[in-house]
Amino acid sequence: MTLSIQPHQPITEGARTFLTGGPKKLLIANEWKDPVGGQHFATNDPASGARLAELAEATSEDADLAIAAARNALSEPAWRDMKPSARGRLLWKIADLIEAHADELAELETLDQGKSWATSRFAEIPASAEQFRYFAGFANKILGQTIPTSIGYHPPGKKVFAYTSREPVGVVAAITPWNSPLLMAAMKLAPALCAGCTVVLKPAEETSLTALRLGELMVEAGLPAGVVNIITGFGSLGAHLTAHKGVDKVAFTGSTEVGRMIVGAAQGNLKKLTLELGGKSPAIVMPDADFDLVLPGVARGIFANSGQVCVAGSRAYVHSSIYDRFVEGLAKEAGKLRLGHGLDKETDLGPLVSTGQAERVAAFITEGRAEGAGIAAGGERLGDDSAFYAPTVVTGVKADMRMMREEIFGPVIAVTPFDDPEEALAYANDTDYGLAASVWTQDLSSAHRLAAGIKAGTVWINCHSYFSPELPKGGHKESGWGYENGAQGLENYLETKTVCAVI
């Protein structure tokens, strides 16, 4: 089967203006600048292959300018002395502007990344605004403590008065992946700004458009110069940021492989790191699972955004008493999904982010088939040079096969039977990753026993991929360091200073 997609013209006035305004620039100290080296690269619509815009290819010189602007802004009174409530209002205003421009941002996101209009417009763009609202509320609630002390070697008649204060970590390099571009940027910008940090944001080279548009909106919201700088470019630009002495912290979301490189690069000045990395998340389906919930839920858990979700439920372990019925039902769910251009309102699933990513998914399936895996649904790329891959259900995948161990980052789920919960837990935990998992059962105690037994940062019960800014999100094992969201998400952007006085 092939799928031929025609280029889409932008519909909203805002997206049209943004895309026709000439090559994109870099945001440094609130000015839009051409890259020092004068180089650009194209960003394309993965569904049709049409060119959307030319992006500035920043070099290390541009990165140095952006870092200098961020460092300077840290000590400028406009930011350093801004009252906490004013910082909160600024974050809230950014959220309002995202919402006011939601149609345009959703259109840009879908054109650039491929995801369906519904996912962009009704999930990710509003969720990006919510990130800013959540952290807006924290800005005037960042508190130190007064602490009574026990050790008494101070001069007689004196006493110790000790307290802590909280300070911004400093300059943050925020580096994001291509799967949920605006949301990933918002998850870093909102807590960083709440804490009083300054930021150099490097979005993924495949999907930089909404970050650049957000930059325009942040300037419009009144962000002081240099507080957020946005530079576009490739992995080498990210590598330069992560090794740079002028950067105090790296907030990274992306692959475990690049996460490891960042750990190495950050050693020079021992940068603080938060690493939100890859996953190979299991779904455990118990014999009493509610089929009306579990089939659409597991299908959504793997196929949403064509499987390009860090927490995608790519391994289902299903009790053997319901295994055949489950595989048949899941294959039907996969078959119902309509593939097409994300801007077509009937489309459930858009393309993968690039033809290269579709090739990668196809290679996993070819290898799995050769090793004996069976295909219950999908298993094909929709055209030789297409970025579309059919939602795929695979059976008979052995524990040591590459498709069971590595992150495919495509719409592919392996379904395996189990006989007792201990076996299901052993399967679920048989991975280097520990990002997320789901448990499907109507029995409260087995739900919570399984949740306790799974080594992962998030466990969902009777749902998969539910996010909200209040909920900490992070990876155990090789899925990362630290947490985003919730009060813990803010901690990553703050230092503690202890002040101890003899009075």
Contact by Cβ (8 Å): 394, 376: yes
Contact by Cβ (8 Å): 280, 314: yes
Rank residues 300 and 448 by Cβ distance to ligand NAD and give the closer one.
300
Rank residues 260 and 398 by Cβ distance to ligand NAD and give the closer one.
260
What phi and psi, each to the nearest 5 degrees, are found at residue 484? -110, 155
Rank residues 142 and 172 by Cβ distance to ligand NAD and give the closer one.
172
- Check the CA dihedral 296-300-306-307 and report its sign: negative
- Catalytic residue ranges: 276, 310
Tokens encoding 223: 């962000």
Rank residues 179 and 386 by Cβ distance to ligand NAD and give the closer one.
179
Strands (E) in 271-385, as ranges, are 272-276, 281-285, 313-319, 374-377
Residues 6+ apart with CB under 8 A from 49: 7, 355, 385
Rank residues 308 and 416 by Cβ distance to ligand NAD and give the closer one.
308
Cα distances (Å, whole numbers) of residue 469 to 134, 190, 379, 386, 476: 7, 10, 35, 35, 19
Using DSSP, state whether 175 is helix, strand or coil.
strand
Smallest gap from Cβ 320 to ligand NAD, in A, equals 30
Concatenated DSSP letters of 4-53: --PPPPP-SHHHHHHHHSSS--EEETTEEE--TT--EEEEE-TTT--EEE
Tokens encoding 148: 């009574």
Residues 6+ apart with CB under 8 A from 457: 434, 435, 436, 472, 473, 474, 475, 476, 479, 480, 483
Smallest gap from Cβ 329 to ligand NAD, in A, equals 27
Which residue's Cβ lies closest to ligand NAD? Answer: 238
Rank residues 381 and 473 by Cβ distance to ligand NAD and give the closer one.
473
Smallest gap from Cβ 6 to ligand NAD, in A, equals 27
Contact by Cβ (8 Å): 302, 312: yes
Strands 483-484 and 473-474: antiparallel
Cα gap 131→489, rounded to integer Å: 11
Smallest gap from Cβ 361 to ligand NAD, in A, equals 13
Count of residues making up the chain = 503
Cα gap 178→188, rounded to integer Å: 15
Using DSSP, state whether 280 is helix, strand or coil.
coil
Concatenated DSSP letters of 394-459: EE---TTSHHHHS---SSEEEEEEESSHHHHHHHHH-SSEESEEEEE-S-HHHHHHHHHHS-SSEE
Tokens encoding 485: 């969201």
Strands 171-175 and 198-202: parallel
Binding interface with ligand NAD (CB under 6 A)? 175-179, 202, 204-205, 234-235, 238-239, 242, 253-255, 258, 261-262, 276-279, 310, 407, 409, 435, 475, 480
